[in-house]
Amino acid sequence: MQASGISLRRLIDKWLGSNLAAPARITRLRRSLTCRGGCVRVDVARSSGPVSMFFFRHDDGCWCVFPPSLRLG
């Protein structure tokens, strides 16, 4: 999946929709092995119930819904 150049805002709109009745709550998570480049959790309220998604920033600067691969050694 080529996501280069897609902003976090556009990626959130793509996955969760841009016509949200309530604003999304974005929480930056602490850096760890999985979130070394950056990681945010996005929470939105839907009529069917709350939805949360994680977005990961990769070494090339793009945001994705999957974490970057670990480089060991």
pLDDT tens across 2-57, in order?
445 678 888 888 888 776 667 788 888 876 655 666 889 999 888 888 889 999 88
**How much is the pLDDT for 53?**
92
Sign (positive or negative) of CA dihedral 5, 19, 65, 31: positive
Q: How far apart are CA 30 and CA 12, in angstroms?
A: 20
* Residue 11 C-alpha from the chain's centroid: 7
- Rounded to a whole number of angstroms, the CA Rg of the chain reads 13
Q: Check residues 68 and 37 and name the one with the higher pLDDT.
A: 68
**How much is the pLDDT for 1?**
45
